[in-house]
Structure 1
Amino acid sequence: MSAKEVVKAFYESDVANDATLVSRLFHKDCELHWTGSQGFVLYDYKGVEGFFEGTRQSYNSLRFEFTHFMEVNDTVVTRHTIYGRTIEHSDDETILAHVSSIWEIKDGKIFRCYEISQQADESNEASMKSYKEIKL
């Protein structure tokens, strides 16, 4: 699989429910460098497993809407918005975050990810749409 196909397989999997996600797609020596609303976090393979275990306990589904998805050699860059349905409110999809990620692939698996996320809500989305309309 190409680097883009590996990252695409991650986003197209059932991230909120697939207990095999990490073992199938992440390299044993992986690192996830994430800067978000809680500051910087560095996850190794065990940390990534724990993160997605928490995700499975909180969400029924996650959906990703992309503005950018680019590949150069073994590196993929994505920019997207994440939407989720929580276990408590499975009928309501909520906008969760805007994310930019740089994925490095090694041996056909996710080896490194450098990610920056910004918490989002419906008002962020509305203001972005109006900003885009003004810019055009």
Structure 2
Amino acid sequence: MSPKEIVQKFYKSDALIDSEVMKDFIHPEIVLDWNSSKGFIQMNYDSIINLAAELNKAYVRSKVRISHIVAENDLISVRYSHFVKTIENPREEMLLAHFIAIWQIKDNKLYRGYQMSQIS
């Protein structure tokens, strides 16, 4: 599978709200530098797994709509919008945030990430 296909498969999966699925996609030595509208955080394997588990408590469904994806060797840039359905209202899809991320792939897993997001 190409690095671009790995990233596409990641965002089409339930990894963002399912920690068990997330484990299939992320490298044990992953580092994610995330600049959000609330500030900067750096995440490692455990914190990413914990975030997916926390999101699972609030959302019953997660969907990513990719608008742009560009690949160069092991680096993939992706621009997407993340939609969710809440436990309280599972019929209504809600835009959570807009994202742009650059991923480096190592050993067929997400290894190094740089991400920016803005809450909708």
Residue 131 of structure 1 is matched in structure 2 by none
Residues 70, 77 of structure 1: 8 Å contact kept: yes
Bigger proportion of residues as strand? 2
Count of aligned positions: 120
Aligned-residue sequence identity (percent) comes to 32
Larger gyration radius, structure 1 or structure 2: 1
| Residue 116 of structure 2 corresponds to residue 112 of structure 1 | no
TM-score if structure 2 supplies the norm length?
A: 0.93
SS in 2 for 1:89: coil
Q: Tell me, in whole angstroms, the C-alpha distance in 1 between the residues paired with 2:34 and 2:86.
A: 22
SS in 2 for 1:95: strand
CA-to-aligned-CA distance 1:27-71 (integer Å, 9 cap, x gap): 000011111122001011011111111111111111111220111
Residues 3, 74 of structure 1: 8 Å contact kept: yes
Q: What displacement does 1:16 show?
A: 5.3
Residue 48 of structure 2 is matched in structure 1 by 48
SS in 2 for 1:110: strand
Q: CA RMSD in A?
A: 1.2
4+ residue runs over 6 A deviation = none
List runs of 5+ in structure 2 lacking aligned partners: none
Q: What displacement does 1:116 show?
A: 0.3
List runs of 5+ in structure 1 lacking aligned partners: 121-136
SS in 2 for 1:56: helix
* 1:56/1:78 CA distance change after superposition, 3 Å: same
